[in-house]
Structure 1
């Protein structure tokens, strides 16, 4: 679609909506932006958009969106409900509805690597971006990781590579999106308040829906759904696995003892040793990244650099400090039970005292987490609205070492009294933060502040870890 002079409606003035409106206006489109918030709640984005050259943008604020009639395209921001009358009208009138990701893809001059899944998307996206830069490629990292895809378009050329994290919500209105390389980290039950399980899986599969023999895929062989989706693609597939050698005839990257091994056809080589990895929970993400590197003919030196320089991401199994032989880790970014399970599995060498709980806005199922606590968690301390549900699920599976706490401060005090030398205290909420905090960053920052206030002389450098996990 030619955007010049097109009449475009952008629904939602969050980061992606603002960026989409800006990019459409720059392309010469006539843009209308709508948001149910009032103008006085949107002063910053309105001021930025007002400073743009080109056609002035029209606003419909503080009310429901206008009717779809007369628009050539609607750009729907993530989080905008699918049953809005304007979207129903658009479908009736055959007006295309795009996500911001689809809009950016249509305008993108460079090849795209897209990463999706339930957990591990952001870490894998970060690592792939690091690998491409280490290989000397001009690289932009964007998407669901925090920077809208459309916002980096001015910095991309045909010689660049766009590394994009995509969520289920962003894939929902993608129609021609066809990354050169698609990466599937895992697919577990998530956002069940918005989608059926079947629809959620179908949305994730859209990252490969338009693949031809010219595109390729990296998929988690340890995940049945990822294997099923990858099997539908006509292009080359490389798998990754933390569970040992891949089956005969399956190409990819896997753990073989203490070695990270690549196998393609009859050829195999060691890419790294497990002891070179510096971050707990990053093993599968690094394996996926190395598989992408093989597809893109990245040299061993760039792979070594990526591994050596990666020291983790804030709020993702992030080492905080050590007191009396107990290590403290912040995993506040964990917003579903599967994330917590992966975090707990990052400590196969020791039991953890787990602080978990928050606000469930996704109809989460804590059963799988509860079933895995025995033998992995020395004690569980629950906080937030989900505390009773986690306690009930744990006890149904015979795990009784659960104590509720009224605040994060009280939970940490309980953990300090409970944890023994050689164990780890892991803060991994597995739920939204909105019952007690503004966002996951604030709760993670508070956890770190509380730990460090108690441990003024604790070392601040993470120990080298040999663990697998998220």
Structure 2
């Protein structure tokens, strides 16, 4: 569909809707933006769009779909909204902002999806492509909308796009040059049943042809099943050695290697990967590099240079021989289990819990703590549910905290020299905090304040 003269309704004036509105209006579309919020709440976005010929329908439910040739649904807008149901019934296309941007993007793209590790993998792939000399645009669910970057993209560039399940739901022709599937775990079960969540993620390869490629986590059976049904070149990644004959990047003893049906070559030594818990993300980046013919020296250099991300298994301080890590970005139990994998053989005092809004299963988390955690400090809305589940399994080394400062003090009091204190909430932050960044910053602040106190030695009291 050409945007010139199209009549487009954009539902939701968040960051994604604003970018879509600007793109469509700049390309000659007749744009109407609707949002149930009023002018006062949306004033900053309205001011940024003031120079564009856009009509608004604010502070009310969306107008009828008749007369529009395309509807853009922003993430977070329910799919069963009456206007969207009517549009689908009447044959009016409903797109996501990702679908819109990809339809006009002139360059190839690498799209990353999954439950955990999307953002880290997206950042790493962006670093790789820049190191390889490509003009690279890192966009999508990671922060900057894809649509906001299109005007600056040339045909020789590459777009690296993080894509969520909500964005994929209304993708129809989206066909990234390379798709990356990190892993799939039950997430957002307040919005999906499991089968629908998997189906949404699978849309990333639904339009692939033999000219496309997919990087897939061999260690994740669901991802592997999705990728095996897609045409094109498959590049597997694994934390173990891959079966002979498969093409991919894997850990083989003390080395990270790339293999195909006939040969195996070393990319780097495993000891060069400095960030605990990021190995799978680094392997995915390396696999993209192999597919895109990036020199091995460049791939290895990006891997060795990766120093981690704030709020993702982030080292904070060592006090009284106890290492404190901030993993506030963990918003589901699977991410917490992943963080625990970063400390094999080390006792962990875990601080976990948060907003209980996604119907997350606590049973896998509780089962995964056995033999790996010395003590659990629970907090937030989900704290009582986690505590009850731990007691039900006979795990009694658990304490419930009313606030984060109390949780840090409790963790410090039970930690032994050589332990790890890991803050990995495994839940949304918005029961007690505005976002995961605020939550993580406060954890770091509390840890440093406690360590600086005259009685800081108590931090590792037995």
Normalised to the residue count of structure 1, the TM-score between the two structures is 0.95
1:309 to 284, 287, 305: 305
Q: Does 1:92 align with 2:89?
A: yes
Per the alignment, residue 380 of structure 2 pairs with: 384
Q: Distance in 2 between matches of 1:187 and 1:340?
A: 14
TM-superposition CA deviations, 1:344-391 (whole Å, max 9, x none)? 111114121110000122110011110011111111100001011111
Per the alignment, residue 15 of structure 1 pairs with: 15
How far has the Cα of 1:172 moved from its partner? 0.3
How far has the Cα of 1:394 moved from its partner? 2.0
Q: Distance in 2 between matches of 1:251 and 1:304?
A: 18
Q: Distance in 2 between matches of 1:231 and 1:381?
A: 41
Q: Does 1:167 align with 2:164?
A: yes
CA contact (8 A) 1:255 1:261 kept: yes
2:358 to 337, 359, 362: 362
- Answer 1 or 2: higher relative contact order, Cα 8 Å, separation at least 6: 1
Greater mean alpha carbon deviation, residues 58-67 or residues 386-395? 386-395
How far has the Cα of 1:456 moved from its partner? 4.7
CA contact (8 A) 1:187 1:226 kept: yes
Per the alignment, residue 227 of structure 1 pairs with: 224
The 5 Å alignment of 1:103-142 reads 103-142=100-139
Per the alignment, residue 46 of structure 2 pairs with: 46
TM-superposition CA deviations, 1:86-119 (whole Å, max 9, x none)? 1011111110000000000001000010000000
Per the alignment, residue 237 of structure 1 pairs with: 234
Per the alignment, residue 190 of structure 2 pairs with: 193
SS of the residue aligned with 1:399? coil
CA contact (8 A) 1:373 1:399 kept: no
Structure 2 unmatched runs, 5+:
454-462
CA contact (8 A) 1:103 1:150 kept: yes
Q: Distance in 1 between matches of 2:400 and 2:125?
A: 39
SS of the residue aligned with 2:312? coil
CA contact (8 A) 2:244 2:261 kept: no
CA contact (8 A) 1:12 1:76 kept: yes
How far has the Cα of 1:428 moved from its partner? 0.6
TM-superposition CA deviations, 1:5-34 (whole Å, max 9, x none)? 111011011100000000000101111111
Q: Does 1:248 align with 2:244?
A: yes
Greater mean alpha carbon deviation, residues 270-279 or residues 107-116? 270-279
Q: Distance in 2 between matches of 1:178 and 1:394?
A: 44
Normalised to the residue count of structure 2, the TM-score between the two structures is 0.97
Q: What RMSD in Å do the two structures reach over aligned CA positions?
A: 1.1
1:206 to 199, 203, 208: 203
Per the alignment, residue 147 of structure 1 pairs with: 144
How many correspondences in the alignment?
453
